[in-house]
Amino acid sequence: MNTYVISSLKKTELKAARSLSSDLDFRELFSTAPSTINFGTKFNEDEDYIFVFSEEKVALKFFYLDEKRFFDLCTVNILNLDRMKIMLSLVKGIGILGRGGPLNYISSEIGPIIGSSLFDSSTIFEVRKFSDKEMQWQTWNGKLQGITFKPSDIESISVEGEKAESKIRELELYPNDKYKIIKMKIQNENFNRKIILEGNGKIKVALWPGEIGIHELDKENLFPKFVDKMIEFYEYTEEALGENYGKYL
C-alpha cells in the first residue's frame, strides 16, 4: 500500500502566495533547495492542479550489509491552485526509514521546501491530524472492515472483519465518547480499494501500482493516467475533510 500525508495550508500565510503557472521558471524557484533532493513540477491540462515531485537518495545500513546502501525516496505533492485548502503527498520508498517516517519527512523536509520555493513561506504547510468527526467510516464513504480504539485505561482495542461494524455496536464500543478511534480500515466502492486511515494524518491505499518518479511518468504517456487518478483521490479527500464540492455526496 502507498502512504499519503495530508497537509493544511495556513490561511494567514496564503495572502503572500504567488500566482503559479507553467510559465514560471520552477528550476529557479527551487534553486535554494538542498542539492541532495531533486524537484520537478508538472501541471494537469487545465493548469488548476500542480504536481511537485521530489527524489532523494537516502543512505541506509542494515545488519546484514557490510556498508551503507543508497535507496530511493520519492514524493508527489498535489495542490489545487483554485482552492488552496490542502496538499496531498504520496510518499514512496524504503529510504523513508532514514528520514523518520512519512509524516516527519513531509512536515520537516518537503513541506518547508515547497512552501519556501513556491509561496515564500516555510511554515505555510501543517500536517493535518484527523478530527473525531473525520475518523468515521461514513465520512469516507466506505464499509467498515477494521477499527482500532484507544480507551483511557488500556493500550488499544481492535476489531477486524466484514462484521466489524455490528461487532463494535454489540460490544458497545461505538458510539461511545470514552473510546477514541485512532485507526480504521474501510472498503471504498468508488476506487474498489481498501483504505486505511490513521488519526495522525496518514492514509494508506494501493491506488497507484507503478513508479511515481517524474522521469518514469514521462514515459509511455503515464502522466495523464496518473493525473486523472490522483485528482479523483484528491477531491475525494477534500470532500471527506469537509470541502463541499459535492462529487461524492
Instruction: Write down the domain spans for the chain.
Output: 2-127, 130-199
- pLDDT reported for residue 245: 40
- pLDDT reported for residue 18: 59
- pLDDT reported for residue 64: 82
- pLDDT reported for residue 12: 76
- pLDDT < 50: residue spans in the chain: 244-249
SS3 track for the chain: CEEEEEEEECHHHHCCCCCCCCCCCHHHHCCCCCCCEEEEEEECCCCCEEEEEEEEEEEECCCCCCCCEEEEEEEEEEEECCCCCEEEEEEECHHHHHCCCHHHHHHHHHHHHHHHHHHCCCCCEEECCCCCCCCCCCCCCEEEEEEEEECCCCCCEEEECCCHHHHHHHCCCCCCCCCEEEEEEEEECCCCEEEEEECCCEEEECCCCCCCCHHHHCHHHHHHHHHHHHHHHHHHHHHHCCCCCCCCC
Query: What pLDDT digit, counting tens, does each position of 28-68 carry?
Result: 999 999 999 999 999 999 999 999 999 999 999 888 878 88
- pLDDT reported for residue 115: 94
